[in-house]
Amino acid sequence: MNKFSVLVFSLLLLSCAREKPDPFAGTIVDLSYAYDSTTIYWPTEKGFVFEKGPEGMTPAGFFYTANRFWTPEHGGTHLDAPIHFYKDRNTVDQIPVDQLIGNGVVIDVSAKCSADRDYRVQVEDFEAWEKEHGKIPDGSIVLLRTGFGKFWPDRERYMGTNERGQEAVAKLHFPGLHPDAAKWVTTSRKIKAIGLDTPSIDYGQSSRFESHVTLFEANIPALENVANLEQLPDQGFTVIALPVKIKGGSGGPVRIAAVVN
């Protein structure tokens, strides 16, 4: 190969490298709430604790700060691993990373949830979405928009009660996924994960958590307290939902981002 050929070949390689698409090109939407004293947890949980550590200039002349925090696995924007409600299913660290990254779809049921805060997302809601947009693509991460994100961090409006303790659980009122719809989406479609903008994939009045059980039997994790779903289109975006990798964990805080194409 002569010098001219080498130069042409090098220029072609450089051109191909420049034309390689950026997987993160587009608008990035943060779908997570920050953790602080207002973060919403289940009524039986203590909540998020932030302990301030040293902060300031050191004798050596550089700035240094380090804090501590404590949190239950389930609270704030977090992931439920399948082990949470089904024996011998994936713990947080066992969920394949590629199951937490995928094309996203938003199914908007906010109008129905506005009329009924105990609404449970039905099979017909999935079918209505598909009638307009086509079949939910295999490998999708499905996000259910109930509209309850607008109430965060007002516990009473978001959860139905501001009370704490076991007695408060019976007073929870917020939308979730109907068990029949959970069964449909796990058997009729091939999704990677599912999430919503409420504290639980089961509605507030659930006592058997059947949607959790159905999803987790199929090793499909759930994302709860997802933020800013109103900023997403019905489809045409990528979801990245990577939790703290807690070995043996049943769940944990997750930073979720959507890249809108």
Q: At what angle do helices 179-187 and 210-217 cross, to 10 degrees?
A: 10
Active-site pick, 78, 84, 178, 212: 84
Cβ–Cβ under 8 Å, residues 128 and 93: no
Amino acid at the residue 243: P
Q: If residue 215 lies in a helix (H) or strand (E), which one and from where to where?
A: helix 210-217
Q: If residue 156 lies in a helix (H) or strand (E), which one and from where to where?
A: helix 155-159
Q: What beta strand segments (E) does the chain contain?
A: 27-30, 49-51, 55-57, 63-65, 68-70, 78-80, 101-108, 120-121, 140-145, 176-177, 191-196, 222-224, 237-243, 251-260
Reply yes or no on whether 84 is catalytic: yes
Q: How many CB atoms lie within 10 A of CB 71?
A: 20
- Comparing CA positions, the residue from 242, 101, 226 lying closest to residue 176 is 226
Q: How far apart are CA 198 and CA 193, in angstroms?
A: 16
Cβ–Cβ under 8 Å, residues 243 and 105: no
User: What Cα–Cα distance (Å) separates residue 32 from each residue in 27, 42, 110, 192?
Assistant: 16, 17, 19, 19
The conformation of residue 21, written as its DSSP 8-state character, comes to P
Which positions are catalytic? 84
